[in-house]
Copies of this chain bind each other. A is one copy, B any other.
Amino acid sequence: MKREAVSAALPAPITEAPSKEELASRLAKVQDLMERQRLDLYVSFDPVNVYYLTHFANNVHERPFLLLIPRRGRPTMVAPLLETSHVRARALCDLDYATYYEFPAPQGENWYDVYRALIDPGARVGVEPAMPVGIYQRTPGETVVTDVIDEVRLVKSDYEIGRNVHACRVIELGHQKLLEICRPGVIEGMIYAAASQAMMARILGDIPHANIVVTRAVAAVWPPSLSHDPHLVPTFGTTMEKGGPHVSIVFAQVDGYGVEIERTFFLGSVPEPAKAPFEAMLEARARAYQLARPSAVMSEIDTAVRRVIKDRGYGDRILHRTGHGLGITGHEAPYLAEGYDRELEAGMLISIEPGIYIPGQGGFRHSDTVLVTDEGCVSLTRAPETLEEVTIPL
């Protein structure tokens, strides 16, 4: 990638709440897809999908929130009495409301009494695969398990991209702070606290009324004794080491928009055996950037990237796919993965993060939040990349 060219092309960050038109446009896309799937109603339980359509964020607990979306017209939010004014205060779209009392509640006043009364038993009703079976079983009509909102979320609007660009500015700051204080002997808890505080301060400055429910900032480093095992989360007491490969993870959801950046780096010096896998990882990554463009089939990108790693002799050191989608969460569809035979489209937001993991030596992975554009793709996150850049003098 040419840094300067890429930098010039970055969309501007956005920190404002979505307009009513933005939310209406999302709903229209959902209702279009419902039309094509011949659904009379779609029921959303997933708080991420509810947030996407309404700007209202809920914590899932035993009192369910259910968004009932008709094929035409405004949705109805089924919510507990305790939360109705919360929904009214935060939702920025037109909504009808149906309130139930409490969970549990006396007979006839439970959530499912209110919910079932709203659904025509003759209707064709779409529900999310993520819907809990306890709710699914109480859903009247001819139910169809289908991703409708998740499908619409795959391609981002200009507004969403602006929000994610802003979130990337926040995690870049967190990553800089992480690299600044990560030295041999420093414990994870210090890195986590310093980097997440830096990010939270930036968020508070930029968006004083950020919604706490959908705002968090996480930073951690896998030192070389752990980095071969990318999902073995370190503890607060995990201690940084000399050399490397250390692997950083910085993730934030900034007032509802989630992004990530990760880097392989070295403290003081690079062990000789680490050089070849590091370069192989860079090469695989470059291949992914080269291939990621509209109409490219995602499984084929994954296969091609794996081939680079295999050709370098690390075929048995691959633990995961090339990348995943981001947007509201830091982990969502689409997937750059074998078995996912869908084409990339402009406006999709993906991580590019092929990895090589060698027990006894460590892990090798950079990850960025990458926007697919008409011309190809552009990373929204910036951090040191080359072996020279990621070797921190002590």
Contact = CB atoms under 8 A, between A and B. Distances in A.
A339 B235 CA distance: 42
B229 A85 contact: yes
A85 B232 contact: yes
13 contacts: A62-B324, A82-B231, A82-B320, A85-B232, A86-B232, A86-B233, A104-B335, A133-B145, A136-B136, A137-B145, A193-B197, A208-B237, A210-B237
A9 interface: no
A166 to B, nearest CB: 16
Contacts of A103: 335, 337
B320 A102 contact: yes
Interface of A: 61-62, 81-83, 85-86, 89, 102-107, 109-110, 127-134, 136-137, 145, 189, 192-193, 197, 200, 203-204, 208-213, 215, 220, 229-238, 319-321, 324, 331-333, 335, 337-340
B212 A86 contact: no
The 5 closest A-B pairs by CB, nearest first: A129-B134, A208-B237, A209-B235, A104-B339, A133-B136
Contacts of A233: 86, 211-213
A134 B131 CA distance: 8
Query: Which one of A192, A320, A340 has the greatest number of beta carbons of chain B within 10 Å?
Result: A320
Contacts of A332: 62
Given A82-B231, A102-B320, A236-B209, A110 B339 contact: yes
Interface of A is mostly: loop
A103 B332 CA distance: 11
A82 B319 contact: yes
Nearest to A209: B235
Contacts of A197: 193
Contacts of A136: 133, 136
Contact of A200 (B83, B132, B193, B320): B193
Nearest to A62: B331
A208 B238 CA distance: 8
A189 B189 CA distance: 20
Given A62-B332, A107-B339, A210-B236, 15 more contacts: A82-B319, A86-B232, A103-B337, A104-B337, A104-B338, A104-B340, A106-B339, A128-B133, A129-B134, A130-B132, A132-B132, A133-B145, A209-B238, A211-B235, A212-B220
Contacts of A211: 233, 235
A104 B335 CA distance: 7
B86 A231 contact: yes
Contact of A208 (B128, B132, B236): B236
Contacts of A339: 102, 104-107, 109-110
A76 B220 CA distance: 30
Contacts of A102: 320-321, 337-339
Nearest to A319: B82
Contact of A209 (B133, B145, B209, B237): B237
Contacts of A238: 209
A391 B131 CA distance: 45
B231 A212 contact: no
Contacts of A145: 133-134, 137
A203 B236 contact: yes
A81 B338 CA distance: 15
A210 B62 CA distance: 27
Nearest to A236: B204
A217 B73 CA distance: 41
Contacts of A231: 82-83, 86
A137 B215 CA distance: 33
A91 to B, nearest CB: 12
B204 A237 contact: yes
A319 B62 CA distance: 16
